[in-house]
Each structure stands twice: as structure tokens, then as C-alpha cells.
Amino acid sequence: MSINSIRTLLEDSAVSHPSKTAIVFNEKSISYEDLLKKVNQVAFYLKELDLPKGSRIGLYSNKGIDQVIAILSILSTDYILVPLTRLLKPEQVQYIINDCDIKCIITDRLKLESIEEIDFNGHIISYETAHKDIPSFEEIYKYYNKPFKHDVNGHENAVITYSFGITGQPKGIVISHRNLIDSARVVSQYLELREEDVISGTLIFNLDYGLNQIFCSLYKRATLALHRFILAGDFYNHLINDKVTVVPLMPVNISNMFDEDEHRLPSSDLLSNVRVLTSSGGNVTVKMLKGLDKLFPDAKFYSMHGLTEAFRSTYLDPSQIHIRPDSIGKAIPDVELYVINEEGKECKPREVGELIHRGGYIYRGFWNAPVETAQRFKSIQILKDVIDLEGQLTDEIVVATGDYVYKDEEGYFYFVSRHDNMIKTRGFRVSPYEIESVVANNLPQIEQCAIFSVPNEEIEEEIVMVYSSRSELAPKEITFELKKHLASYMIPSKIIYKKSLPLVPSDKNKINKEELKNELLEK
């Protein structure tokens, strides 16, 4: 058995901590010993399907203990897990099925109806018994009790994740078994996770940040407490009742935590178990940090920056979060980061360039997408003018991230924009992210803000700001505040108020700027 597989972690956990609670969800829980038993039963059934090695198995369901069992069962075979978030519409699920040729889908009773709308002729397995022709986990647990063994190779493909954006069709990123182990190891190290920790499983399991909750729990023999974030009050009950100590979040979760009236928020004493908070996937505002400080005064907050093509690049040490809250931090262990300009030269401090990721946690590439893979996964020769390659193997792969960043004099990195999102106006490159950050930090009455551009022959592109708030603000008031913090060429020429902003259907963390832009251009 490979030492670089989640399967090995699961087996070792069942031997060393058989009776310890592995997963808890509401009133249900399962020990490490019973978790391995159920994973073995489902994995045995999957192997009996006799699919070709490397076949893709989709997971399309709501959160629960059976969902984690399904994930670990697929990773115990030589099949590949393809998470299909429950937020996806049937046509998006259909796209992924076709793109990576999914042979089997594991689902729940609620999602069976959606699958019936899809053109899928492969195997379907449900958690609950729902139809006489569809096998279920309930039946598998009852009838499949034969021993299961499988030697997982750490270098084999384990997972393909898809993320639907605003435009275009997504490409699946291929992740190996070793990638999963490496990510659990490094996060457990710099977060200083412990065996006695209870890790909140609030994030959905469609991308690596969410899946990492499961793997870190296994790596440290900790307990994973699952939760579906719907209402802020229920989330706080989860933290209190499950005695959660580690809370991975996204900025949208942090915002939703403070949807409650202030007088209905719990006291910090009730949340004193929480010792670690993490966030990735977007900007954490000063307002969010103030709220977290009040609720979790003794917890360490880690702001992190990840990639599609590699598990993670940076984290900001908690001691720096109030000193430089806009920074994405420094490289995580085993990673080297460089900022280069268009000529391939290393950028000076505060000069914006592309972030290059070298070292650990680099994924395998994009599924069936050689052009996209070639754009991001580069030979180390891209750094020939930055580091000394003499005597080094020159077939090493690095990631040209497409992230525009700069580094300050102390070596801290700051995100500016994605390459594809940069606005070119009046001869300058402008980051929408930078303007949105200024709005978030200096205009607290604005609830949501989207910055994008529309064509303008005279200045190349014209900057537009669309925002939502409880009531409309005078454009001059907004412009006056922005001019205090931004260069004149960065000030939006159009400022538009809307009661609410449209979101990307498959990702409620993202404002649908494409829809806003189309609305404006059609007028």
C-alpha cells in the first residue's frame, strides 16, 4: 500500500483509534472503525461493477456522513472521484458527464430527480433505497460484508474537480492521491492541527479546499463535524454544540455569519472552543475581521491564497492580519514563489507581475485540455533569468498562475488581479479587485460591489461600478471617497445602483459581472 494515499490514512486511523468519533453530523456519528467498515463495503461494490481502471465516478448529493463514505470509497479504488456540487444545474452536470466520460453517479434521493433529466446511461447508486432498480448504500451495508483490499498507487489520478465561472465551459483539474496527502500534511503543519481537534465541515466538497477538511481530519485522527450553512444561527449552534475548534471558511460564509442582528449573536464565551479560523477564495474585509475579532478574540485567523493548478501558494501568519490585512502572505512550506514581468525578469518590490509557483502541491494538469495545460504548466526555463539553473534538471514543471501580484520590501505578497480580469484604460492596467477592496474597506454602507469595464474607443475601456445597499448613495459621495484612495484613472466613470446584484448560478460566492455588463450594453 502506498504511503501517499488517503486509503492508508483511513486504515491506519481505524487501527490506532478504532472507537474515536471520526465524523459527526447533527445527531449522527460514526467511529473510525465503523467508517472503514462502511467504506470497504461500498468500495467492494464499486469494484464489482468491473469498470475500466481510471473510470470516473460522479458524486452528486447533499452533505452527510454517507457523502464522506462515498468519497473515501472511490478513493479506495483505482477509480477517479468527480465531485458534482449540488448547486449545479442539470445541464452543467451533463457537461461534466460528457467531458470526462463519467461511468457511475452516486447520489441521494433528492438529486435522483435531477439525474432523470440528464442523458446518462451509466450506473446510478443512491444512499437511500428509492427505486427497485437502483442499488442503495442501505442495501450495500446490509449484504456486502466480504473483506476488501486494494493497493492504491500514490501517483495515480484520484480526483477531477470542476469550477463553473461566469463565461465559457470549465476544465477539470486532475489531482493525484499524493497531492491529497501532501495538502493534508502541509495544512496540518502550519495550522498546528491536533488529534483532539474538531474540524468544521462547513465547506462543500466540490473543490480542494473543501475536500481538505476531510483529509486533514484523517491525517491528525481528529473529528470532522459536518454542517450545511443555511442560517447564521444554525451555524453558531453547530460551533457550540459540536465543540468545534477549527473552522475553515470562505469570505461569503464570514459575511453570512453577521446576517443576524447584533444582539442575537452569541457571546464570545460560548465560542471559546474555536482556536483556528481559516479563509480562502476571496478578499476578507476589515469589517469581517472586526466581527471575527469580537466573536473569537483568542482564535488565530489564517488568510490563504490557493490556485486552480496547485493546492495552495500562500498564507498570512495570524500575527500579521491586522498589520497588513490586504496581504495574501508568504509562501507555504515547500513552495517557492516568484513575481516576473513580461520579459521574464524578476519584479522589483511593489512592481506588479505574474506569480510563478515552484515546488510542492502542483496538480497534474487539465483533463483533455492540452492548450489550457500548456498555458499554465510551464518548464522551469520560464525562471531562467531569475534563478540559477546550472546543474539542475530542466524538465521541472512550475505553474504560471495568471495571478497578477506584487511583493513588498519585507517579502509579503499582495494580490492585484487575475490576468483575464485586468482593465486597460488610458494606457494603464487597472485591477477591478483593487477598486472593490477600497469600496469594501471605506464605504461600509455598500453591501455588494462589482467593478468591470465596457468598450470606449477614446480610452480603450471605461470603468463601471455597480453596487447594492439599503438605499442609494449619491454618486458624488462615492467618487469623493474613492478619490482619497485611488489614482484618477481608476475612478469609475459610471456608478449604478441596484437593490441586489445577480450571482453566478453555480457559485453563490461570485457576482455575475457578465450579466451586469450585458444589461448595460443592451440599453
pLDDT tens per residue, range 248-306: 998 878 988 987 777 789 999 999 999 999 999 777 888 889 999 999 999 999 999 98
- Please name the residue that has the C-alpha cell 466573536: 295
Phi, psi of 52 (to 5 degrees): -60, 150
Q: How distant, in Å, are the alpha carbons of 140, 233, 266, 267 from that of 262?
A: 47, 12, 9, 10
According to CATH, the topology of domain 6-175 is Rossmann fold (3.40.50)
Residue 167 predicted with pLDDT over 60? no
Q: Which of 49, 48, 23, 53 is nearest to 35 (CA)?
A: 23
pLDDT tens per residue, range 354-366: 999 999 999 999 9
- The pLDDT assigned to 195 comes to 98
Q: Are strands 446-456 and 21-25 parallel, antiparallel or unpaired?
A: unpaired
386 contacts 340 by C-beta, under 8 angstroms:
yes
3-state helix, strand, coil in the chain (%, to 5): 35, 25, 40
Q: Are strands 507-511 and 157-161 parallel, antiparallel or unpaired?
A: unpaired
What superfamily does domain 422-522 belong to in CATH? ANL, C-terminal domain (3.30.300.30)
- Please name the residue that has the C-alpha cell 483593487: 434
Please tell me the distance from the alpha carbon of residue 49 to that of residue 70, in angstroms, as a whole number: 15
Write the DSSP assignment of 312-373 as a string of letters. --EEE-GGGTTTSTT--BEEPTTEEEEEE-TTSPBPPTT--EEEEEEES-B--EETT-HHHH
Q: Which of 72-86, 168-182, 266-280 has the lowest mean pLDDT?
A: 168-182
pLDDT tens per residue, range 309-363: 999 999 999 999 999 988 999 999 999 999 999 899 999 999 989 999 999 999 9
pLDDT, greater one: 506 or 12: 12
In the chain, where are the structural domains located? 6-175, 331-418, 422-522
Q: Are strands 21-25 and 223-226 parallel, antiparallel or unpaired?
A: parallel
According to CATH, the topology of domain 331-418 is Luciferase; domain 3 (2.30.38)
DSSP assignment letter at 136: B
Q: Which three cell numbers stand for residue 134?
A: 437502483
- The pLDDT assigned to 448 comes to 93
- The pLDDT assigned to 166 comes to 41
324 contacts 303 by C-beta, under 8 angstroms:
no
